[in-house]
Amino acid sequence: MPIYAYKCGACGFAKDQLQKISDPALTDCPQCGKPSFSKQLSAPGFQLKGSGWYATDFKSGTPAAAPSSTDAAPATTTDAP
């Protein structure tokens, strides 16, 4: 079940509430009793597991497979006649 953050517009009281998604939103402030309780935006809490994500594969700044010097093409030189 998700945790929703609520804040009262009248008195400023804030509360986190564990609710089902299907439950109706709280409207009355438990502190002052006024119907000005509203949901607040908050950052979701999740983790990126496995490979293929920026945070796990590319964030370090080092390329995954750097070409080695033995795989490079031989240097070409032009001889002047």
Mean pLDDT within 17-36: 92
Q: Give dist(CA 10, CA 31) in Å, integer.
A: 10
Rounded to a whole number of angstroms, the CA Rg of the chain reads 29
Strands lying side by side in the sheet with 3-8? 14-18, 3-8, 37-40
Domains of the chain by residue range: 3-43
Cα dihedral 9/10/14/16 (nearest 10): -60
Confidence (pTM): 0.54
Mean pLDDT estimate for the chain? 79
User: Span 61-75, mean pLDDT?
Assistant: 57
Q: Which CATH architecture has domain 3-43?
A: Single Sheet (2.20)
| pLDDT confidence of residue 9 | 92
* pLDDT, tens only, 29-59: 999 999 999 999 888 777 777 777 777 677 7
